[in-house]
Structure 1
């Protein structure tokens, strides 16, 4: 089943979200995705993730991991065919390619292949200029700092006045 959605009214009402709309439109037109090899996607901490792919039968030199801007591509291709005669072959040895869209500032930290599982560590690291920071307010009476305390709601002030 294919749905046709017109996202152009949303595109006109937003600034800087073109990539998001491109991903939505491309996702709607793609056919059912191949789910080989199976994978787990874990969030280990607020800005740390791990992708684990089950790649039984593949050696490290048969797997390629490519990180581009906002895209991670994991592909595998068996280098040589086995000369054995199988009665049943249940361990898949077909080539694969999995693509993962990465958020801004997400970087691949490491990749490890153990016991048929490929683990890829991802970390989101915001640059210093993107992190929240406190801004000082300067006036004619000297420097005043912004405070974390908020003014009480207007209805609380009214309760104090009525009680007085």
Structure 2
């Protein structure tokens, strides 16, 4: 099997296969990451940043694509829809990679720093609730979340 994907010379920074071998993703200087069908070479989706896209990585289940950009963000995108799911902001993010269970995203910076992030909202809420000693009081809720109806944020604590 062979097909061609045209990307202007010197504009391609990274290319990676999805774990399920259905997709190929590219990162390039035109500020985009593109997801291609490995079956027929057709572009499935194109996601955009405000800076060069340096790195791409698929989640272990091939449902999500992570991108690292010169716009100082790492973003997680849903492969099929191209919808942005999560955004992480840091200085000079260069590379991204998912953990083997897909729970964490690791990023590297120009200065050699490696950061490991929880990226799913449910995991972030669970982690926060495990560290808190109490929920917001109704007065605190009103102060910070004015128009929202009061409810316990963490059901596992009082």
Which range, TM-score by smaller chain?
A: under 0.3
Greater RCO structure (CA 8 Å; 6+ sep): 1
Q: Say which one has the larger Rg.
A: 1
**Structure with the bigger percentage of strand:** 2
Structure 2-normalised TM-score?
0.20
